[in-house]
Amino acid sequence: METNRQKKISRLLQKDLGEILQLHGRSWFPGAMLTVTKVYVTSDLSIAKVYISIFGKEAKEIIRLTEMHGKEIRKQLGLRAKNQLRHIPDLRFYIDDSLDYIENIEKLLKE
């Protein structure tokens, strides 16, 4: 169960990461559009699990590119959140496949 602090930090990270990916996404991920759908922070605030919805390209390739640019993304996040957070958590990127799951359920219900 997430504490209120974890929820606040998750919302802050989600907002800032979304803006960072919007600004730098064209150069880092050409031909793809990324959306940060959810961020979960561990109880010790050391790791943030970032779930990304990907449109336009192969998802595994985009996740590989986000891991390559992970240090730069974390640096940009640190510049934005330096007044709110003492320590910027390590970022772990995951594919958010909830839309595919919903489509599959809807398809099964129509049959």
| pLDDT tens-digit series, residues 28-42 | 888 888 889 999 999
> What CATH number has the domain spanning 4-110?
3.30.300.20
Q: Which helix (H) or strand (E) holds 3?
A: none
Give mean pLDDT, residues 48-67: 88
Angle at 19 between CA 13 and CA 24, to 5 degrees: 120
> How confident is the model at residue 16, as a pLDDT?
95
> 36 with 14: CB under 8 angstroms?
yes
Kindly report each contact of residues 27-32 with a partner whose C-beta sits within 8 Å and lies 24 or more positions away, as own/partner: 28/65, 28/66, 28/69, 29/57, 29/62, 29/65, 29/66, 31/56, 31/57, 32/56, 32/57, 32/62
Please state the domain extents for the chain.
4-110
> How confident is the model at residue 100, as a pLDDT?
73
What residue type is 73 in one-letter code? I
pTM of the model: 0.83
Residue 110 pLDDT grade (very low, low, confident, very high; cuts 50, 70, 90): confident
Q: How many other C-beta atoms lie within 10 A of the C-beta of residue 7?
A: 13
